[in-house]
Amino acid sequence: MTIPSLPSAYLEAVAAVLGPAETEAFLASYAAPRTYGLRLNTLKIDPASPAADKLAELFALHPVPWCGTGYYYEESTRPGKHPYHAAGLYYIQEPSAMSAVELLDPQPGHTVLDLAAAPGGKTTQIAGKMAGQGLLISNEIHPQRARILAENVERLGIRNAVVTQAAPPALSGRFPLAFDRIMLDAPCSGEGMFRKDPEAIREWSPEAVELCAARQWDILQDAVAMLKPGGRLAYSTCTFNRRENEDTIVRLLAAYPFLRLIAEKRIWPHREQGEGHYVALIERDNEEKNGAIATGSDGRTGAAAGTDGAVRRGGRERERGRGGRSGPAERSVAAAWDSFRAWSADELPAFAPPAGGTPLLFGEALYLLPASGGLALTPEHLTGLKVPRAGLHLGDVRKGRFEPAHALAMALGAAEAAPRVWTLGEDSPLAAAYLRGETLEVPASLRGWHLVTLACGDGQYPLGWGKASGGQLKNHLPKGLRH
Catalytic pick from 67, 188, 238, 456? Answer: 238
Pairing of strands 401-404, 67-72: unpaired
Q: In the structure, how many helices (H) and strands (E) does the chain have?
A: 15, 23
C-alpha 56/C-alpha 259 separation (Å) is 41
Cβ-proximal residues to 234 (8 Å cutoff; 6+ apart), any chain: 100, 101, 103, 104, 181, 182, 183, 184, 279, 280, 281, 282
C-alpha 284/C-alpha 259 separation (Å) is 5
Q: What is the CA radius of gyration of the chain?
A: 24
The single-letter DSSP state of residue 35 is P
C-alpha 369/C-alpha 354 separation (Å) is 10
- Examine the residue annotation and report whether 67 is marked as an active-site residue of this protein: no
CB 132 within 8 A of CB 159: yes
CB 44 within 8 A of CB 90: no
CB 300 within 8 A of CB 221: yes
> Alpha helices of 348-471 — where are they, by DSSP H?
406-411, 414-417, 429-435
CB 451 within 8 A of CB 422: yes
* Closest of 171, 95, 176 to residue 137, by C-alpha: 171
What is the residue-wise DSSP string for 149-167?
Answer: HHHHHHHTT-SSEEEEE--
C-alpha 407/C-alpha 367 separation (Å) is 10
C-alpha 41/C-alpha 463 separation (Å) is 15
* Closest of 14, 230, 259, 279 to residue 125, by C-alpha: 279
Dihedral through CA 88, CA 94, CA 99, CA 100, nearest 10?
Answer: -80
3-state secondary structure of 80: helix
* Closest of 455, 474, 477, 454 to residue 464, by C-alpha: 477
Residues in the chain: 483
Query: Which residues are annotated as catalytic?
Result: 238
